[in-house]
Amino acid sequence: MKIVMKWLGRITSVALYGILLCIIILVVYSKIQGGTPQILGHQILTVLSGSMEPGIKTGSLIAVKPVTQVDSLKKGDVITFKSLDNPNVLITHRIVKVEKADSQINYITKGDNNDGNDTKPIPSSNVVAKYSGFTIPYIGYLFDFFHTKTGKIVLLIIPGILLLGYSLIKMWKIIASIDDDQGKQTLEKPKSV
């Protein structure tokens, strides 16, 4: 039983250190890049509206693959593009029609949950990525919170507190076992006559 507890302690310790290290790397990497985090070549985005429901729920985390050849996109593909009104806002909608005029390609898009098409065609130069089909519902709310200043502080503090608490418990157990060993040695010493 002691061996099992010892190994569980080691696994917990390694897991906490690993989580803290991953979080620090993710926060620093996001700050250096100045954009969205990437995992295995996919950007991780948060969906903040219900325009693509029921396939992509509001508050979902989605993975999108950056597009290098916009001419390969076709009707039915779900793309992420820069808003025509604000290039800092990304929108993820489905292509319902591809229009080609001279060397310019425009996409008519629509949210699956919207009644009509988006008001203006999206130029191919605004297309950022293609949805890869990977989504985790509702985790995006948490992910979005972690991109705020408060969220980043919480993200670093909580694993740190857990690690500190775990270390204090571990030290307390070690001190208690040393005290027990000293108590046993005192009881076992023969009395001199």
CA proximity to 114, closest of 164, 174, 55: 55
CA proximity to 139, closest of 21, 55, 58, 20: 58
Cα dihedral 88, 73, 99, 119, rounded to 10, equals -40
d(CA 156, CA 127): 34
Tell me: cis bond preceding 54? Omega within 30 of 0 counts. Answer: yes
User: Catalytic residue among 49, 60, 124, 167, which?
Assistant: 49
- 60 catalytic per annotation: no
Catalytically active residues are: 49
